[in-house]
A and B are shown apart, each in its own frame.
Chain A
Amino acid sequence: MHINEYKILLVDDEKTLREMVCSFLQRAGFYKVITAADCRQAREWFHKEAPHLVLLDVMLPDGDGFSLFEELQKNSEVPVIFLSARDEDENRLRGLGLGADDYITKPFLPEELILRVKAVLKRVYRAKDMREEEIVALGACRVDMGSGVVYWHREENFDIKETDAEVTLTAKEYAILQKLAQERGRIVTIDALCDAVWREENYGYENTLIVHIRRLREKIEEDPSHPKYLLTVRGLGYRLI
């Protein structure tokens, strides 16, 4: 399914905001947008239309978004992005560990909203539908993120099926590259990388990370001592360009 075909349910009691967000989403290509003004309508549409993503306001006239979210999560695993107008909610969203996929604090810019919607949709549904996007191209090197195999080709015309050489990434290298590829072009801090690779209790792995990065470079860089794609940002982290 193309990303634009996903159905989005927008729940907010403010009519003007609903109309505006609706128009943004439609302009961004999401043509299946359903809106609801309160919990009752939201429940109704949710069961009738089975949306792929819910944009949920925290404060609703007939209840709060948190409870509705918990209710919806009982029978489905639909991703939810909260729209919140209070700073206090931020703490609650983090503290409660509700498992919401993201939250946006009002006021927000359209671009921000669209980016988050796309990011969540990709993250949740990519495994099933977006395999084609999972090739990371780094000059003469291609990494298939589906299998974790690195393909090398020295010629201009690149085709995975006709490669000179191939190596496989280890699980840790794969996790590092995946994180960097998700944030391609942006700096990813050492902490965020450790977080992605070792999940919990990740402090103290900084030196190990350096080792893994060096091995990863040996696999994906033409000249690992002078990397062109996986760059070090001194004191901060790494960046994949």
Chain B
Amino acid sequence: MSQKYNYKKAVRLFLYGVAILVMIILLVGALNIVFLLVAAFAYRNMDISYIYGGTVMEALTLTENGYELAEEMKQEFVKQDQWAMLLDESGQVVWSIRKPEELQDSYTQADIARMTRYYLKGYPVQLRVWEDRIMVVGLQKDAVWKYNLEFPISWMDFIKRIWWSYFLVNFAWIVVLAFFFTRRYTRKREKARIEWIAGVSHDIRTPLSVVMGYADTLEHGEELPAEARQQASMIRHQSLVMKELIADLNLTSQLEYSMQTLRREKIRPVEIIRTIAAEFLNDSLPEQLEIDIWIAQGAESMCVKADRQLFMRMFRNLINNSLKHGGQNDTVRIQISMWEETRKCRIRYADNGVGYSEEILHRLCSRKKGTPGNDIHGLQIVKKIILAHGGKIRFGNCEEGGSYCLMEIRRERMN
């Protein structure tokens, strides 16, 4: 039951994690877009309006005295701190405006080819072919940064073919990252909770020892009147109940939130059954309790991989439950049987008590968490222990009266 819930919770948290990561990535993307927009806006506002070859050529007319540039264009060149020159087909400068002095008046084909892509002696230039002439419009040194890009078509085709897998890998990364982050987060939270409960139960135990100890002293003290001794006995008894509740709380929290607390080892269930049965029989009168153990032929050697302490706890809880609900005057009869079935270890625990009520059975079988209530706390723990070991459990009432509990857990091979 709890495992199912953990699973659902984990999936939910994981999806949250994916959503958060996607959101982070989208947010970063959005921030990038905003940055680019701001940059573009700033670029526009910087009032960078270069003079282009085409504009110059429109303003340039050939007169008898040579080339003549319109007056406003001349002013524009001054304003933009630019220069221009017109080369004829032989590479000679036939016209120029504000041409830097270090530039020569004649250019070879190689010079022209070079300046087309890069700089002319450090001056960034733009070329425009006009009929058989070339208009060169330049800026001052370091005014413009130029960069040329070129890729082989085959490589571009390759990119076109694989771009989707790039996105797929990215998406996978998001999923994996989300998984690890959420797992770390949930582990941390669960650990904090378990530790908190463990801490509280630890802190309660020492004062409870004192309460129990002194109540016991008073109960056995001859100097007190019978009534006071009776009350002391009640305090001691209720303290024991509290002790059990604290232990249950601690155990429940550990079982519910982490599987790691299981200390699995190879154990023989028969040994544990006998130990616990002897423990209870030793501490009760023969007419109070009878435990009948039936082990199928060959099942004696059967092993399971389980937490010894938890398995002991499980049988203690079952027997305690039978004692609690057994008749006050009648002998509580318990029958524990164990056998093997299709490589599974099956244990049937039955008593001669009043049986489980419909409501209790419903609560034991239901997957809803809810508040279990104290009366079946012990049985809920039995169920949690079996489930934590990957086993199956069923509660029910026997036809001849009493209740039963059928447990199943994978058996291990004996060495």
Contact = CB atoms under 8 A, between A and B. Distances in A.
User: Looking at chain B, what size class is its interface with the partner chain?
Assistant: 35 or more
A192 interface: yes
Given A87-B247, A236-B291, 17 more contacts: A14-B206, A16-B210, A17-B210, A86-B202, A87-B198, A87-B201, A87-B251, A105-B205, A106-B205, A106-B209, A109-B213, A109-B236, A187-B282, A192-B278, A235-B294, A236-B277, A237-B274
A90 B209 contact: no
B281 A187 contact: yes
A20 B198 contact: no
Contact of A187 (B202, B216, B278): B278
B301 interface: yes
A32 to B, nearest CB: 20
Nearest to B206: A14
A105 B212 CA distance: 13
11 contacts: A14-B210, A17-B210, A87-B250, A107-B205, A109-B216, A188-B278, A189-B274, A189-B278, A191-B274, A192-B275, A204-B301
A116 B217 CA distance: 18
Contacts of A59: 202
B309 interface: yes
Interface string B207-244: 11111111011000000000000000000100100010
B300 interface: yes
B245 to A, nearest CB: 12
Contacts of A44: none
B211 A107 contact: yes
B212 A86 contact: no
Contacts of A86: 198, 201-202
A71 B325 CA distance: 49
Contacts of A189: 271, 274-275, 277-278
A234 B263 CA distance: 31
A189 B275 CA distance: 6
B213 A24 contact: yes
Which of B208, B263, B271, B274: most chain A CB closer than 10 A?
Answer: B274
A107 B309 contact: no
Interface residues of A, number: 37
Contacts of B301: 203-204
A213 to B, nearest CB: 16
B268 interface: yes
Interface in B251-283: 251, 263, 268, 270-271, 274-275, 277-278, 281-282
A23 B220 CA distance: 14
Rank and list the top 4 A-B pairs by shortest CB-CB distance, nearest first: A235-B293, A107-B209, A107-B208, A106-B205
A108 B274 contact: no
Contact of A235 (B207, B250, B271, B295): B295
Nearest to A23: B217
B293 A90 contact: no
B281 A233 contact: yes
Nearest to A86: B202
B214 A20 contact: yes
A17 B216 contact: no
B300 A106 contact: no
Interface string A207-237: 0000000000000000000000000010111
Given A110-B213, A192-B275, A88 B268 contact: no
Given A85-B202, A235-B295, A236-B281, A108 B212 contact: yes
A68 interface: no
A129 interface: no
A237 B292 CA distance: 12
